[in-house]
Structure 1
Amino acid sequence: MLTMNGITFTYPHAPEPLFENVDVAFPVGWTAVLGDNGIGKSTLMAIARGNALPDAGTVAPDPRRMIIGYCPQDTAVAPDNLEDFAVDWSPEAIAIRDDLGVADDWPYRYAQLSGGQQKRLQIACAMAMRPDALILDEPTNHVDAEAREHIIAAMRRYRGIGVAVSHDVKLIDATCVRCVMFERRHVSSRNMTVVTTLRGGYSEASQQVALRDGADTARADALQREAGRLAAVKAQRFAKVQQVESRKQHGERIDRRDHDARNRRQLAKMTGLDRGVTRAYSQLDGRLAAVKRQTEEISSPAKRYEGTIWMDIKPAHCREIVRLEPSLIRFGETAGDDEPMPSLCHAIQTGNRIRISLPENGDTATGLMIPAISIGPRDHVAVTGPNGAGKSSLVAALLAHAVDVPRLTIAQNTTDEDRNDAMNRLFALPAETRAQVLNAYARLDANPDRLLASGRPSPGELRKLLLCLALPSGPQLIVLDEPTNHLDLTSKKALARMLAEYPGALIVVSHDEWFLDLAGFGQETVAR
């Protein structure tokens, strides 16, 4: 078991900790780590691996005394043991290759592989280390449905401590027996990160969260009703106290010959009526304060923002943004112009979907046959297909033939250079424009305060920031390659809603059918 106790971490110059006093244990078997982008999941994993030091807390056993396999989010990072894996033909390595569908030549051409193929090879190399603990950070980014099944099979074979940082519901439900959930919750008048461990996969853990939140809401409502009742009683008691005080203040005016009035005042003093009313009134203050404290101690999900972000963007004033004639797109230097190319992928456009299929003979594809493709200034088009089918090559051809309009292109992978450039661009904006960008960023389920404090957006946060930074220029063409990579589920919903409302031309490459349907790609293209 890998145990982390009292872990607190703060970015340099940040006004508050990223998380504090986190207690979590990872036993043998698979544990999912869930939470919003930038909430601290990858940072906690870096601490678990010994690659980052916490402000406080302990990790046991010492990570330096363990073999910890790690698969990063970024597929551009080639595994350190890639060459060793290439020549490892032990039974364990062969089983890993079979589970993940890794071809023998993949280790020798890592840079030429698709993102999904690189991801599978990253996981294979991590597993081949025979680690005590295996941490997979977003293991299904870039992969198609078939590759996901390969990854699930490999994860099920692993018998050590497994941690999957993921937003893939299908993967988590198929492999994980517990979930460690990071949540931003409102507690005691402030937002803070709360980390809880729940049994089961994503679906079961989500049900537990829903039941807990429902119980918390019911308890908060009951306390509010009790506070209202006590406030009403307090008002009644206050009126009685006022009457008592009035009698005290005007007692001297009682006519000496009014024996009845004098007797009533004396009886009140003898029976303690004045004292009882005042005491009961004071006790109500204490009971009201106790109810308010209990109400503040109840946690609730931090507020999320919704709304449109497109401001005054208008579609281009042209008939077509992109047009491609029927043609063959060759992959790399696979063949000369006059040589036959029997292993071809084929693209078919139906409505607002361009679907690409692999060669029927099962050989490695050497090119892509495309039909005539026309994309208008308001059209939204999704490009789908398995890894290695040529989706990125098609997008490159579409961009090469696009008319000259303001555009935004976000690639599958982002780099440290992209992150630094994005933050520099953000801080260079005029104050009013920067406020608009950060407002849009918040509406994509992100935290502007945390972004400004850390200056280090996570890969998911960076994708949101790159989109929002383009808004002031009014892009009339947006091209997103695997936009849901690194995004948490709530962010996927927010992004899908925003893209569905985008008034310009949109090209999205994705394996995520759930996201595409939510973003409006499940229907035939209609004039807009």
Structure 2
Amino acid sequence: MSLSSPAHAHGPTSVAVTGLSYAWPDGTVVFDDLQVSFGPGRTGLIGVNGSGKSTLLRLIAGELTPADGTVRVFGDIGYLPQNVALDTTSRVDEVLGIAGTRAALHAIEAGDVREEHFTAVGDDWDVEERARATLGELGLDHIDLDRTIGEVSGGESVLLRLAALLLRRPDVLLLDEPTNNLDLHARQRLYAAVERWSGVLVLVSHDRELLDRVDQIADLRGGGITWYGGNFSAYEEALAVEQDAAERMVRVAESDLKKQKRELSDAHMKLARRKRYGQKMWDSKREPKIVMGARKRAAQVSAGKHRILHEEKLTEAKERLDEAVEAVRDDDEIRVDMPFTAVPPGRDVLTLRDLRLAHGARVRGAFELRGPERVALIGRNGAGKTTLLRTIAGDLAPVEGEATAHVPLRFLPQRLDVLDDGLSVAENVARFAPDATNNRIRARLARFLFKGARADQLAATLSGGERFRATLAALMLSEPAPQLLMLDEPTNNLDMASVRQLTTALESYEGALVVASHDLPFLRSIGVTRWLLLDGALTDTEAP
């Protein structure tokens, strides 16, 4: 195993992964002899949750060490992880990595001409101008370099981390779910930055608008990568053609298998008739014994060859069917059919009255939610959407006013911290439904794709998408059944298949729904009936 980052002289900027093997500490194999390379251009790395997308980026970035194989990076590398954790006491210039250069520059400008300051500055005399220009490109020109991270929103902190990478001008840029927590305006800034990128870019994302800005798609599945030219829309079209062909091959293979079974059965019948005829001739002794013996031996040899030939054809037909079935993707769907979640039209679900939140946002007068409405809660980063949901859920007390839920409610937080990592999936669900039997819990979990041993997985070992499904299952299967479900950025960290599964689950949910999200395609897919904008105050608005 080796991990290296050669200089530019070795060749064009690229990432080369050869014979890569990696397993989690519990022995679960993620990669076994993976071969892949990423050259200049924008690559969208996609795959189902748990396939190893984030793990591969961490291996390339050097955060993880492979058990075997090599990872070679030609050029400087920049990596934006999925969960950006920044020290809230750090200043913006420290996060950008320019604090030392900037301090030396200011010292020289103030008349301190010690050599150490010139060494610190080097050739980077325009560092502040470059920093402000980069911040401006990402819509952060309002953020002063001396501010602390505690003064900016979560979405702005993600963009600041990206700005730090762009300032370094790396040759290889790795982005893991970069649009998580970004509002619509910030996402547009990120899209523009991706479109301008001219080096090697590998991004993991569920954001189809972002994936439609890449040059090629790398589909990670079963420990290997399949390449598709073009953006995500082109990938979907190509995959649809592939799957149609694969399903046709299954039908052809099934027909061939039936034919081979029929021919083998016919062959057995013919051989049985020959055997009966030979026995009849032997019993009647119509031919000399030596002739009948030779005829019997020849018939046995012929019968053996005939049987082996048909059995081989049958085996080959089964193998062709197995291969054809393997090529057809089986993306299971979550099923949520719980009648107790239904809310009749007109029933009072939620009342907010003269509400003032902990961070200043307000609900003036009375706001009411009735019946099975589907509400999209939108607004810029830092507007207070999460604070509002947590206040409704009872996790935070309002500064003024009241929030009253008239039906059982459950809140799916952005951090997915509902689960106890030390318990299994089934045990976590049992915490929310203590009166349910083990069999009932497992039958319900199977509808959320946790079948058999999967229900016994520890929560700590789940991938992002699996953790989301387990959390959703725990909330939806709780007793009493929730008639108001509130979701905070639910598509964060979900792959495309998981987003489809969530959409399907919410389609069959009959209660009231409030979803805070910046993912417009997702919001439109779940049939939102009412759009609310939180921008200082809560108001009804038109669909974006």
Match of 1:280 among 285, 306, 310: 306
Partner of residue 341, structure 1 = none
Partner of residue 127, structure 1 = 166
Deviations 1:10-52 (A, max 9, x none): 22335x4234332221112211111122222111211111212
Deviations 1:247-305 (A, max 9, x none): 3333322254xxxx779x76993996664454223211112112222322342323514
1:486 partnered with 2:493: yes
How many residue pairs get aligned? The number is 472
SS at match of 2:490: coil
Partner of residue 510, structure 1 = 517
Partner of residue 343, structure 1 = none
Q: How does 1:72-221 map to 2 (within 5 A)?
A: 72-77=81-86, 82=95, 84-85=97-98, 89-90=127-128, 92-105=130-143, 108-174=147-213, 176-183=214-221, 192-221=222-251
Check whether the contact 2:22–2:32 (CA below 8 A) recurs between aligned residues: yes
Residue 380 (structure 1) shift: 3.3
Check whether the contact 2:20–2:70 (CA below 8 A) recurs between aligned residues: yes
1:59 partnered with 2:71: yes
Partner of residue 540, structure 2 = none
Check whether the contact 1:405–1:476 (CA below 8 A) recurs between aligned residues: yes
Distance 1:492 1:195, change over 3 A: same
Partner of residue 347, structure 1 = none
Check whether the contact 1:422–1:466 (CA below 8 A) recurs between aligned residues: no
Aligned counterparts of 2:17 and 2:51: Cα–Cα separation in 1: 17
Partner of residue 77, structure 2 = 68
Distance 1:138 1:314, change over 3 A: same
Deviations 1:89-114 (A, max 9, x none): 35543442222111342662433433
1:407 partnered with 2:437: no
Aligned counterparts of 1:422 and 1:118: Cα–Cα separation in 2: 32
Partner of residue 384, structure 1 = 378
Residue 432 (structure 1) shift: 6.4
Aligned counterparts of 1:302 and 1:29: Cα–Cα separation in 2: 31
Larger CA deviation: 440-449 vs 303-312: 440-449
Check whether the contact 2:17–2:35 (CA below 8 A) recurs between aligned residues: yes
Aligned counterparts of 1:279 and 1:369: Cα–Cα separation in 2: 85
Task: List runs of 5+ in structure 2 lacking aligned partners.
Answer: 1-13, 103-125, 533-544
Distance 1:83 1:208, change over 3 A: closer
SS at match of 2:29: coil
Check whether the contact 1:10–1:19 (CA below 8 A) recurs between aligned residues: yes
Distance 1:161 1:515, change over 3 A: same
Partner of residue 467, structure 2 = 462
Distance 1:115 1:449, change over 3 A: farther
Partner of residue 7, structure 1 = 20
1:36 partnered with 2:74: no
Match of 1:226 among 240, 244, 256: 256
Distance 1:375 1:478, change over 3 A: same
Which amino acid is the alignment partner of residue 137 of structure 2? D
SS at match of 2:380: coil
SS at match of 1:472: coil
1:48 partnered with 2:60: yes
Aligned counterparts of 1:451 and 1:60: Cα–Cα separation in 2: 38
Larger CA deviation: 500-509 vs 195-204: 500-509
Aligned counterparts of 2:525 and 2:265: Cα–Cα separation in 1: 52
Aligned counterparts of 2:436 and 2:392: Cα–Cα separation in 1: 35
Which amino acid is the alignment partner of residue 31 of structure 1? T
Match of 2:30 among 18, 22, 25: 18
Deviations 1:361-390 (A, max 9, x none): xxxxxx556453112364432212333444
Deviations 1:398-456 (A, max 9, x none): 445124864322333346x9663675852875796566556555545678856755632
Partner of residue 122, structure 2 = none
SS at match of 2:17: strand
Larger CA deviation: 322-331 vs 236-245: 322-331
Partner of residue 484, structure 2 = 477
Check whether the contact 2:23–2:30 (CA below 8 A) recurs between aligned residues: yes
Identity of aligned pairs, percent? 26
Aligned counterparts of 1:249 and 1:70: Cα–Cα separation in 2: 80
Task: List runs of 5+ in structure 1 lacking aligned partners.
Answer: 184-191, 333-366
Residue 397 (structure 1) shift: 4.9
Residue 482 (structure 1) shift: 1.2
If the length of structure 2 is used for normalisation, what is the TM-score?
0.75
Which amino acid is the alignment partner of residue 239 of structure 1? M
Aligned counterparts of 1:158 and 1:23: Cα–Cα separation in 2: 25
Aligned counterparts of 1:518 and 1:485: Cα–Cα separation in 2: 16
Aligned counterparts of 1:423 and 1:271: Cα–Cα separation in 2: 64
Aligned counterparts of 1:374 and 1:426: Cα–Cα separation in 2: 33
Residue 82 (structure 1) shift: 0.7
Partner of residue 338, structure 1 = none
